[in-house]
Amino acid sequence: MTSALPVPAALDDVPAAVESVLAAFFDRAVPVAADIDPQVGAAAEVVRDFVLQGGKRVRPTFAYAGWLAGRTAASGPSPADDADPGRPDSPDDSDALRVATSLELVQACALIHDDIIDRSDTRRGRMTVHRDFERRHRADGWAGDPGHHGVAAAILMGDLALAWADDLVHGHAPGDSAIGPPPRPLPAPVGRVWSSMRTEVLGGQYLDIVNEAGGDESVDAAYRVMQFKTAAYTVARPLELGATLASAPPTLISDLRSVGHDLGIAFQLRDDLLGVFGDPERTGKPSGDDLVAGKRTALLAIGLARAADRDPGVAARLRDAIGRPLTDDEVGSARAILVDVGAVDEIEQRITTLLESALATLEGAGLPSPIRAELTGFAHRIAHRST
C-alpha cells in the first residue's frame, strides 16, 4: 500500500521519520484544541513544542527495530491470528512507524508529570512545562497562585499527551479521519502489549514516589522501579510492540523481550549515573539533580549500603545530601562518597554485564545480519550515552 508517511530505511533514520509523523499529527490536533477555545489551543501548543524540542526518540527506534526484526524473521507460529502478513489489510511499514511514534506521546506524558513530581525547573536545558505555565500565569497577571496553576495546567496537558498517544496509535487525529492512509484496526495482541505498557509505566512511577516517601533505600526496591518505570516501556515493550505488529514467532518475541529488559535496566543505570555526574551542558539538567530530587536510584542504594558497611558516618553524610537543595561543594562531596565506596564502579560493571547479556541473546535470536548489526550498534550507544 502506498503511504504518505516517511518510511525509515534504517534505524538511524527513525528519529527524523518520527519528527515528520509528529509534526503531521500536531498540524491536525492543535487546531482542534484551539477550536474549543484559544486558551486550550495555546496550551496544546506548549505540548507540541515540548515534544518537538528534542529527545533521543529511543522508544520509537526500538519499536521500529522490533518491527524490522519480526518482519524479517523466519516464518513460524504467529501470535497475532488476525494479522496475517499475506492479507492486504495487514500492517505495513507506515503502520509500524505510526505505532512507534505514538510512544513519544506516552513519553511526553511521563516526562511532564515526572518533572512535576521532581519539582524540576528545567528539561533539556529549557523550562519545564509546569514552570512554563507558571510563567505565563505571572506574565498575564492572573489571579491565584502561579505555582499551583502551573502544576494543574501541566497535569492536564500530560493527560492530553497520553490521550493523543491513543489517538495516534490507532491512526486517528482529533477532527480528522486519519494520519496517513485510512487506519486499520490494530491486531488484538498489539493492543494487549500497548495496554500493559501504559499500566506498567504508571505503576512504576507510583512505586518510585512511594519509595521516596517511605525512604526505602534497598537495591531491590530500586530495581523494581527500574523494571516497570523504565525498562518495560523504554525498550522491552517497544521491541515487543513492533515484533508483535509484524506477527513475529513467539520465540523471537521472547528473545526481544529479554534483550529489552537487559538494555532497559542498563539504560536506567546509565541515567542514574548521569543524574549525579552528568554534565549539565549535555544533559540539560542541573548538576546532581537526582540527589536534590531525592530519587531512590540503584546508584544511591548501592552507595548507601556500601557506605554503611564501611563507616555509618559516611552513610549519614550521603543520606543528608538526598532530597534538598545542594551547593556545588555538597554535590561534589556526595559524588566523592559514591566513587570512594565503589558504587560507581559497581554500576558500570552492571551496565557492562547487562549489555553483554543482551548482545548474547541477540546473537542467538536467529536474526538476519543487517538488523542484528543495527540493534547491536544501537544497544552500545544507549548503554554508553552521555546525555
Q: Which three cell numbers stand for residue 357?
A: 547479556
Using the predicted structure, report yes or no on whether residue 208 has a pLDDT greater than 80. Answer: yes
Q: Nine-digit cell at 188?
A: 488484538
- Mean pLDDT score across all residues of the chain: 90
Task: Show the CA angle centred on residue 374, arms to residues 94 and 65, nearest 5°.
Answer: 35
For residue 359, how many other CB atoms are within 10 A of its CB?
19
Task: Answer whether 41's CB lies under 8 Å from 114's CB.
Answer: no
Across 121-125, 129-133, 255-259, 343-347, least confident range: 121-125
Closest CA to 200 of 239, 227, 182, 176: 227
Tens-place pLDDT, residues 92-140: 999 999 999 999 999 999 999 999 998 999 998 899 999 999 999 999 9
Of residues 3 and 189, the one with the higher pLDDT is: 189
Q: Answer yes or no: is pLDDT of 83 > 50.
A: no
Q: Kindly indicate the confidence band of residue 67, based on its pLDDT and cuts at 50, 70 and 90.
A: very high
User: Are residues 243 and 64 in contact, defined by beta-carbon separation less than 8 angstroms?
Assistant: no
Between 185 and 178, whose confidence is greater? 185
| pLDDT at res. 81 | 42
Query: 87 is written with which cell numbers?
Result: 492479507
Residues 6+ apart with CB under 8 A from 230: 204, 264, 265, 267, 268, 271
Burial class (CB in 10 A: 0-12, 13-18, 19+), 219: middle
Q: CB of 100 within 8 A of CB of 205? A: no
pLDDT classification of 9: cutoffs 50, 70, 90: confident
218/265 Cα distance (integer angstroms): 16
Per-residue pLDDT of 10-50, as tens digits, reads 899 999 999 999 999 999 999 999 999 999 999 999 999 99
pTM over 0.75: yes
Provide the residue ranges of all domains of the chain, joining segments of one domain with +: 11-54+92-183, 185-387
Per the CB < 8 A criterion, the answer to whether 179 and 171 are in contact is: yes
Residue 79 has pLDDT above 50, yes or no: no
Q: What is the C-alpha to C-alpha distance for residues 239 and 64, in angstroms, rounded to an integer?
A: 7
**With pLDDT > 70 as the criterion, what percentage of the chain qualifies?**
92
Number of other CB atoms surrounding residue 62 within 10 Å = 33
CATH architecture of 185-387: Orthogonal Bundle (1.10)
Across residues 263-277, what is the average pLDDT? 95
